[in-house]
Amino acid sequence: MARHVTFITKDGGTHVFTRLERYRKVIKFGRINIRDNCVIGERVILLPGVTIGPNSVVAAGSVVARSIPPDVLAAGNPAKPVMTIHQYAEWALAATPDYDEAEFARDKKAVLMRMYMRGSVPKPFHQKDRNVTSD
């Protein structure tokens, strides 16, 4: 989990109407569940009652208003699945430049400062793509 992740477990908006007798007893709380092997990016906001499925990544700055399924990269406001983890792994591999691993082990900063990260545009996410299995 990155820095500045916000967990909101109570819907404070109910304050607007709970002074009215009809709604006096209304309370909206929700547990936030983060399953195994997840990455939550910097400044993500998690709203009440959401679950982050196992093996999922939530991109920095996302607002999670609904649960995120397993094995996806989710992003946006509201956060939605963008691609499967397998697609994300392939996308990251394609964008990784060649480098000398021994030199990288000796001086990471010097190697990273020389790297030009190749861009890659991911293909659109489709629900049927979630059944992709990794080799």
Q: Which residues are catalytic?
A: 15
Residues paired with residue 75 on neighbouring β-strands, in sequence order = 80
Measured CA to CA, the distance from residue 34 to residue 95 in angstroms comes to 28
Whose CA is closest to 59, among 97, 13, 92, 30?
92
Residue 73 makes CB contacts below 8 A (sequence gap 6+) with 56, 57, 59, 81, 82, 83, 84, 85, 87, 88
Tally of CA atoms within 13 A in the half-sphere of 37 that contains its CB: 9
Instruction: Characterize the bridge pairing of strands 57-58 and 45-46.
Output: unpaired
